């Protein structure tokens, strides 16, 4: 079990950086629950 197991995640992505779906994919096997995930565009 990873240290994120059982935790809730809030993921804020950026289009020209790391978008949130990419972060979701990274955390998919961490055992954490994605409570909120969104990508924003700051330009």
Partner 1 sequence: MATVGIRGASYCLNHTPELAFHYGNTPSTERHSKPDSEFLANLPKFVQSYDEAVRYAPNLVYIGALGVESLPNKTAPMYKNLEEKGSRSGVYGEIMPEDEFIALMDICDVFDLVWLEESFSVAVKPKMEAHPLLGESQIKRLEAGHALADIEKEVAEHNALPLYFNNVVVACVRKGHDIDENLSAHVLMENLASKVGGVLALMHLIKNSGVEAKDIEYVIECSEEAIGDMNQRGGGNMAKAIAEIADCVNASGCDVRGFCAGPVSAILNAAGLVCSGIHKNVAVVAGGAIPKLYMNAREHVKKAMPALENCMGNFGVLLMPDDGSMPIIRLDAVGKHSVGVGAAPQAITSALVLEPLEKIGLGLKDVDKYAAELHTPEITVPAGAGNVPEANFKMIAALGVMKGQVERADMNQFVKERGMEGYAPTQGHIPSGVPFIGHAIDAINRGEMHRAMIIGKGSLFLGRLTNLADGASFIIEKAGAKASAGASISKNEVKEIILDVLSEITESLDAEAKKD
Interface residue list for partner 1 (CB under 8 A)? 13-22, 25, 38-43
User: Closest Cα to residue 12, out of 4, 26, 23?
Assistant: 23
> Rounded distance, CA 19 to CA 39, Å?
6
Residues with Cβ within 8 Å of residue 24, at least 6 apart in sequence: 11, 34, 37
**Smallest distance, partner 1 to C-beta of residue 31, A:** 21
- Of residues 1 and 16, the one with the C-beta less far from partner 1: 16
- Of residues 4 and 18, the one with the C-beta less far from partner 1: 18
- Of residues 21 and 31, the one with the C-beta less far from partner 1: 21
């Amino acid at each position: 079990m990873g240290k994120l197991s059982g935790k809730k995640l809030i993921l804020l992505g950026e289009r020209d950086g790391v978008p949130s779906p990419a972060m979701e994919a990274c955390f998919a096997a961490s055992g954490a629950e994605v409570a909120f995930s969104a990508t924003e565009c700051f330009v």
